[in-house]
Amino acid sequence: MKGYRINISLIVIAWLATIGVATAYELDCPTRINIKSDHPELEATPEGWQVSMKKNRSLLLSGIGVYSDEPVKLFQLKPETGIIDGKKHDLTWQINSAYDENGNYVSCSYNGDEVQLVKKIDPSMKSCWADYSNDKNQAIKAKLICSASEWQKVE
């Protein structure tokens, strides 16, 4: 009988752990990406000129954004101060509403908007907030934390 109680306890603990995973998750933006510079192709190189090769380089994270639909369609959502899971956050978004027919995406921007990494946000999430910090070299670190809880307006 003692072994049976332990098995039930383990099942309950495992089930409770999956509830937490299903209701919130984090999307971390890489703090740095490396890009290869291509040799640009010109329609016509002006006489006496040549195209210079660029070196490969690293780009640092500039910021994070949330989009309704794919970011290429440019429907970026404006962050607002809001309450999620009982806590006030300065940069929040209400997501996966009736207006977001094709879902929401997070975008990590590098060197302004020179390069963006994008990822679709789980459709079961209802709200997100941005969390910014700095690493040991003072480079920006950013993550989007999403919750299945509804976003609340700050009164």
Which tens digits make up the pLDDT trace of 4-23?
454 444 444 444 444 444 45
The pLDDT assigned to 97 comes to: 86
Between the two ends of the chain, the Cα-to-Cα distance in Å is 54
Task: State residue 124's pLDDT score.
Answer: 93
Mean of per-residue pLDDT scores for the chain: 83
**Residue 31 and residue 128: Cα distance in Å, rounded?**
20
Q: How far apart are CA 49 and CA 121, in angstroms?
A: 47
Query: Residue 18: its pLDDT value, please?
Result: 42
**Smallest Cα–Cα separation from 151: which of 107, 91, 76?**
91
Instruction: Say what the pTM is.
Output: 0.72
pLDDT of residue 39: 66
Q: Which helix or strand (DSSP H or E) is residue 119 part of?
A: strand 115-120
Tally helices (H) and strands (E) across the chain. Answer: 1, 10
Q: What is the pLDDT of residue 13?
A: 45
pLDDT digits (tens, 9 = 90+) for 76-129: 999 999 999 999 999 999 998 888 888 999 999 998 888 999 999 999 999 999
Please tell me the number of Cα atoms within 13 Å of 85 on its side-chain side.
14
Nearest to 57 by CA among 115, 2, 5, 97: 115
Q: Is 86 exposed, middle or buried (0-12, 13-18, 19+ CB in 10 A)?
A: exposed
